[in-house]
Amino acid sequence: MSLEIDVITLFPEMFDAVTKYGVTGRAEKNKIYQLNTWNPRDYTENNRRSIDDSPYGGGQGMVLLAEPLEKAIINVKDRLKSIGVDDTHVIYLSPQGRLLDHERVLALSDYGSLTLVCGRYEGVDERFIARYVDEEISIGNYVISGGELAAMVLIDSVVRHLPGSLGDNNSAKEDTFSNLLLEFPQYTRPEIFNGESVPSVLLSGNHAKIKRWRLQQSLGKTWLNRPDLLAQKRKKGLSEEEVLLLEEFKQQQDYKISE
């Protein structure tokens, strides 16, 4: 069964960026996941169809009303019930949430249904969050203007892990962060670009050597760029081969610096 994704948003058209292009576009066409959008504006009762109001206690900006959001989520749940889905995991995209990372993405790709709530302005009425939201997720320690881009980041990263969404089922497994390592450097034609040649091992046809070189590059890049990740990897235990490869990489770096 495909993953059901329901998004509550004031700007449904933004999600064309996910459903019409690339890996996520193809996956939607192939029914690997289904995306439905719900606009809180369609659930307002006031004449002006306003979805926000000023904050109690004063202060700048506006806050999204709880009521239209509640009505939207009730409609989401009714739709899901009508297709035999009894439960959905409700996520509010928020800079105050838990940081999205590889492990969380993998865990989210196991759900049958995700409902994503996109905030705008100063955010949403806290009573809606307390009543309906299972989890708050942030895409980084910075503030963006709305939850839509964050929801799209989440959708894209989750969909990549759904069976069948990538042509080669293994490619998500080799991506950066799987196995707590950054991915090795990639090269394609031409063999020589601006006088710089592709590393000869990649042209050797020796698959064992290529595998070893790639692992060494992954370890080395992680050591250089993300020592925090390497520390996590070390905690889980590096193999003897990995220790040797990393030492060799470090020596090559020293050699490069002293050249």
Ligand X SMILES: C[S@@+](CC[C@H](N)C(=O)[O-])C[C@H]1O[C@@H](n2cnc3c(N)ncnc32)[C@H](O)[C@@H]1O
The active-site residue out of 156, 174, 175, 242 is 175
Q: If you search the block for the tokens 């790709």, which residue do you land on?
A: 109
Which of 67, 122, 136, 156 does the annotation list as catalytic? 122
Annotated active-site residue 55? The verdict is no
CA distance 86 to 186: 44
212 labelled catalytic:
no
Task: Find all residues with CB under 8 Å of 20, minimum gap 6, and list them.
Answer: none
Residue with smaller CB distance to ligand X, 121 or 223: 121
Contact present, 27 and 33 (Cβ < 8 Å): yes
Estimate the crossing angle of helix 147-159 against helix 22-29, to 10 degrees.
Answer: 70
Task: Report the interface residues with ligand X, using CB under 6 A.
Answer: 93-96, 118-120, 122-123, 138-140, 142-147, 150
**Count, residues in the chain:** 259
Of 142 and 255, nearer to ligand X (C-beta) is 142
In angstroms, the CA 162 to CA 174 distance is: 15
Per the annotation, the verdict on 160 as an active-site residue is yes
**Active-site residue identified among 12, 40, 68, 95:** 95
Residue nearest to ligand X (CB): 119
**From 41, 104, 160, 214, active-site residue:** 160
Residue 129: CB atoms within 10 Å: 19
Specify the residue, 143 or 208, whose C-beta has the smaller distance to ligand X: 143
Specify the residue, 13 or 254, whose C-beta has the smaller distance to ligand X.
Answer: 13
- Give yes or no: 127 in active site: no
Record the tokens describing residue 212, joined without a space.
Answer: 């070893």
Smallest separation (angstroms) from ligand X to the CB of 92? 7
CA 5 from chain center: how many Å?
14
How near is the Cβ of 141 to ligand X at its closest, in Å? 7
Beta carbon of residue 43, minimum distance to ligand X (angstroms, whole number): 18
Q: Residue 63 CB, nearest distance to ligand X (Å)?
A: 9
Q: What's the token pair of residue 217?
A: 């590059």
The set of catalytic residues is: 95, 122, 160, 175
